[in-house]
Amino acid sequence: MDDTLLERLDILVTSGQITDQIRRYVLQKATSFASEHGIELTEGNAGSFITHFAMACARIGRGEPVVEIPASVQEVADRHLDLVEVARTMFPFDASTITGAEVGFITMYLCVLLGRES
Amino acid sequence: MTIRIAIGGLKKEVTERVTKEIGGDKVSVIVTSDFEAAKKIKSGQADYYFGACNSGGGAALSVPIGILGYSNCATVAKAGGKPKAEDIEKLVAGGKIAFGMAVESIEAAVPMLLHSLFKKHNLE
């Protein structure tokens, strides 16, 4: 994993935007997904994903999930229903607290990581 | 004076195109990552940051917030919302230097941001 990805998470912790617990959770989940699929996490392919995932965990944890999702992102998610199920299990929260929009965003990032979408 | 704008986040090519179309020779554009853009502003190599993400809910701006501080950053359009020129003008006039937006709002928000910046810097 690029040092820059670790630095991103450190900045989010230092500035109080995420907890160290979220930092560790995101690292574990992202690393596990990458390892499972033979992907190397770099700044180029995972910078936005890591940041988004961490911030999503923080806002869902606060009870403030995003509810709006652009049609273009929803269309990507609809094309990859297998990854929708993976995305749904990425969060460390009860499924009832996670919106379809949050799942859709993560689905899109997983698609990009796997090279299914550009 | 040329306003130096660092562009990061998603759909950078769209943000770059709109910035150059509207800004012309009043702006110079650096296309990079949110991370590098914030560092360039902090070191005086860029004046402003424009960054987009899908949700508009923080990912485009969270690293710049961490590097530049909350008080210097603002979200101008979240997913499902529309940017408002008067709100953007207040943010620019108030000294914000890093701006996040939802990707769907780039074409609307960037011209508003630039016009507010031109007004602030007497470049209209």
Nearest chain B residue to A51 by CA distance is B59
Contact indicator for A110, A86 with CB cutoff of 8 Å: yes
Contacting residues of A for B65, CB less than 8 Å apart: 15, 17
Helices H, strands E: what count in chain B?
5, 5
pLDDT tens string A92-111:
998 889 999 999 999 999 99
Distance, C-alpha B47 to centroid of its chain:
10
Contact indicator for B31, B16 with CB cutoff of 8 Å: yes
Across the interface, whether the CB atoms of A51 and B59 are under 8 A apart is answered yes
Q: How far is CA B85 from CA A71, B76, B109, B114, B118, in A?
A: 24, 9, 8, 10, 13
Contact indicator for B18, B106 with CB cutoff of 8 Å: yes
Across the interface, whether the CB atoms of B59 and A66 are under 8 A apart is answered no
Residue A27 has pLDDT above 80, yes or no: yes
Residue B97 has pLDDT above 70, yes or no: yes
Distance, C-alpha A83 to centroid of its chain:
12
pLDDT tens string A59-79:
999 999 988 888 889 999 999
Residue B57 has pLDDT above 70, yes or no: no
Helix, strand, coil distribution of chain B in percent, nearest 5: 50, 25, 30
pLDDT tens string B15-50:
999 999 999 999 999 999 999 999 999 999 999 999
